[in-house]
Structure 1
Amino acid sequence: MTTHVNIRLAVDRVNNSILCQGLVDNKQPRLFTPGEVVTSQHGFMKGHGCYVEEDEIKASVAGVMEQVNRLISIKPLKSRYNGEIGDVVVGRIVDVQQKRWKVDTNSKLDSALLLSSVNLPGGELRRRSAEDEQMMRKYLQEGDLISAEVQNIYDDGQLALYTRSLKYGKLSQGILVKVFPSLIKRRKTHFHNLPCGASIILGNNGFIWISPTVNSEIEGDGGFTQNLTDVIPRCDREVIARLRNCIHILAQCKMMLYDTSILYAYEESLKYDVKDLLNQECIFDVAFLTQHKLRIQEI
């Protein structure tokens, strides 16, 4: 009986945490529901996620309010990825076109990766020729996963990507995890080599890549290295699988995802087998203990 009470309390405490990247002074942001009045004061302008009815600005989506001067908008908690310049993203090549690749980045439109925005094999810097254009599918083909950075945003909302740094490029062996973009906490860096023995890329677009620890000494051939024949040791595969389950635990319990929260969840999950992390009792226990450690860190 005591166990069920503790689990119920853990569920309540975890579910009470509201998703938002704008947490200030540990205060939970106000959550608006569709049709709810945001403000009835005059002088404000409606932005995205709002509409005007009877001189009142109301929310058209469920989310939190964002205010820039006199402009009020509602940021939905669940939506497609809206990119910003400088964001790190993980995407999948969906089409090879003339002088560009189309990339699925979980946004409203497929993103564009221009041939001029990638490193050639060996990191060679020169103008792209017709021969390079003919070999585009040799560099990147449909189905390949890549890490990239948002370079520009076109007028129609399409993202322009680039991989001119050797830390970006084609991804090799690992696991792709998809979560809501609003769960990814914006940090200075989104590439992490975790002490548990795995590397992780937290894409701002909600795509997370988990792989064996990347050897920084083996850099490149322009970000096109892909060793699919190497056998990953069982211990490394178990670490990757455990991290994958921990990320799903945090996402299911509406907790922000960044290196610290993932590492805390991994540490709390070590008392369970990897497969047990799919059970509801283990999920609530790991989430509750992770949230507790994060709160202690903030104090």
Structure 2
Amino acid sequence: MDVDDLENIQSSHSYNLTCPGESLTSSQSFMRGHGTYVDNEEVVASVAGTIQRVNKLISVKAIRSRYSPEVGDLVVGRITEVQPRRWKVDANSRQDAVLMLSSVNLPGGVQRRKLESDELQMRGFFEEGDLLVAEVQAFFADGAMSLHTRSLRYGKLRNGQLVVVPPILVRRLKSHFISLPCNVDLILGLNGYIWVSKHVKEIDQEGEQGFDAEAVYSNINDEIDIPTRSAISRVTSIIHILRAHFIPLTDTLLLETYEWTIEHENHTTDLLQQDFGEAMVAYISSTG
């Protein structure tokens, strides 16, 4: 790779792929970072991944890697275990995350100390297998992340489908809650877990009157009509195609791609055809 190419790489927007053993630069003005080594005064990639540059530091972020959380990240996870006053959550990280009982909204939305009676009812809030959206709050001494669902936008997930992509494909956006015009909502978890679901009205964030405990902690899906089911299927198929071609996901890209599929497909099953997927990727590349 030429030095001029490296100059165009931005730390947050570069997705240039490289392979192990590929020379990245021979310029001595650059420093080697993670995923690289120096051989004969050349910076060489040691893993398959994307090249990232921060000033004069060159590194390679591996494609097949676990999610590395940061405080404030939005993640989608699955409850794996209910323990005293806490839940264990699979968030695609190196170890399970922890959601404390003190870090969730209780029925009624009242901010108060959690009582022994609340601990006895923990499975009424979340149980094994439940999916939820939460925010990374802090880290424990062993490196496990602590989550919270105190915002009314966080909590149990229903009425949708989970799609898993490499975490590196989810860019940091201003908002990871996306509403498409086809009555479908997306939650782009920075850990690579994406939730595609039926559109729900915005919950009133002001005050506590918008908190409906039965809806927030219910395990029963709402009735979903056939057009909405078809739209959910279409969006998940689009994400699968983008994942297969290693294309980063953004709100703008998903909206443009969805509109393109509406114009060019005759049926949702068209998205399963390889030729259609390649045509969609070619369109993305041409508008890129």
TM-score bracket, shorter-length normalisation? 0.7 to 0.9
Within-5 A mapping of 1:51-66: 51=37, 58-66=44-52
Residues 66 and 252 from structure 1, CA distance in 2 versus in 1: closer, same or farther, beyond 3 angstroms? closer
Deviation, structure 1 residue 228: 1.9
- What corresponds to 2:12 in structure 1? 22
- Distance in 1 (CA, whole Å) between partners of 2:230 and 2:258 is 12
Task: Specify the SS of the correspondent of 1:117.
Answer: strand
Deviation, structure 1 residue 159: 1.6
Residues 165 and 216 from structure 1, CA distance in 2 versus in 1: closer, same or farther, beyond 3 angstroms? same
Task: Specify the SS of the correspondent of 2:175.
Answer: coil
- What corresponds to 1:259 in structure 2? 251
Within-5 A mapping of 1:11-90: 22-23=12-13, 29=16, 31-36=17-22, 47-51=33-37, 58-66=44-52, 73-90=59-76
- Distance in 1 (CA, whole Å) between partners of 2:19 and 2:117 is 55
- Distance in 2 (CA, whole Å) between partners of 1:48 and 1:153 is 23
Task: Specify the SS of the correspondent of 1:96.
Answer: strand
Residues 33 and 163 from structure 1, CA distance in 2 versus in 1: closer, same or farther, beyond 3 angstroms? same
Farther off after superposition, 187-196 or 47-56: 47-56
- Provide the aligned length of Structure 1 versus Structure 2: 272
Deviation, structure 1 residue 32: 3.9
TM-score, normalising length: structure 2:
0.83
Query: Are residue 171 (structure 1) and residue 171 (structure 2) matched?
Result: no
Deviation, structure 1 residue 111: 0.8
Farther off after superposition, 37-46 or 59-68: 37-46
Q: In the alignment, which of 85, 109, 124 is matched to residue 99 of structure 1?
A: 85
CA contact (8 A) 2:135 2:148 kept: yes
CA contact (8 A) 1:20 1:64 kept: no
- What corresponds to 2:226 in structure 1? 234
- Distance in 1 (CA, whole Å) between partners of 2:258 and 2:27 is 47
- What corresponds to 2:211 in structure 1? 220
- What corresponds to 1:283 in structure 2? 277
CA contact (8 A) 1:171 1:226 kept: no
CA contact (8 A) 1:49 1:60 kept: yes
Residues 71 and 207 from structure 1, CA distance in 2 versus in 1: closer, same or farther, beyond 3 angstroms? same
- Distance in 1 (CA, whole Å) between partners of 2:227 and 2:219 is 19
Identity rate of aligned residues, in percent? 46
Query: Are residue 245 (structure 1) and residue 215 (structure 2) matched?
Result: no
Deviation, structure 1 residue 253: 1.9
Deviation, structure 1 residue 75: 1.3
- What corresponds to 1:188 in structure 2? 174
Question: What's the RMSD between the two structures over aligned residues?
Answer: 2.8
The CA deviation string for residues 64-108 of structure 1, in whole angstroms up to 9 with x for no partner, is: 344557765421123111111111111100001121111111111
Task: Specify the SS of the correspondent of 1:86.
Answer: coil
- Higher relative contact order (Cα pairs below 8 Å, separated by 6+ residues): 1
Task: Specify the SS of the correspondent of 1:93.
Answer: strand
Task: Specify the SS of the correspondent of 2:216.
Answer: coil
- Distance in 1 (CA, whole Å) between partners of 2:73 and 2:32 is 26
Task: Specify the SS of the correspondent of 2:112.
Answer: coil
Where structure 2 has 5 or more consecutive residues not aligned to the other structure, the ranges are: 1-8, 205-209
Aligned amino acid, residue 212 of structure 2: D
CA contact (8 A) 2:140 2:146 kept: yes
Task: Specify the SS of the correspondent of 1:283.
Answer: helix
TM-score, normalising length: structure 1:
0.80
Aligned amino acid, residue 276 of structure 1: D
Within-5 A mapping of 1:123-134: 123-134=109-120
CA contact (8 A) 1:20 1:77 kept: no
Farther off after superposition, 61-70 or 131-140: 61-70
